[in-house]
Amino acid sequence: MAGQVKELMTGLSEIPLVDENSTLFEAVLEIGIMRARHPAGARLPAALVLDKERNVAGLLEFRHMLKALEPRYGDFVESAGKLGFSFDQIRSELRKYGLWEDALEGLCQKAGETMIKPFVIIPEESRIADAESSINEAVYRMIVSGQDYLFVRDGRMLIGVISLSDIMGHICDSVRACRM
Query: Exposed/middle/buried for 81, CB within 10 Å: 0-12, 13-18, 19+?
Result: exposed
pLDDT in tens, 58-80: 889 888 888 777 766 666 666 55
Mention every residue, 6+ apart, whose C-beta is less than 8 A from residue 96.
none
Q: Residue 18: what pLDDT? A: 93
Q: Residue 72: what pLDDT? A: 64
Give the number of other Cβ atoms within 10 Å of residue 176's Cβ.
7
Q: Residue 41: what pLDDT? A: 54
Q: Residue 87: what pLDDT? A: 72
Q: Residue 117: what pLDDT? A: 92
Stretches where the chain sits below pLDDT 50 are none
Mention every residue, 6+ apart, whose C-beta is less than 8 A from residue 33.
16
Domains and CATH numbers, the chain: 5-66+110-176 (3.10.580.10)
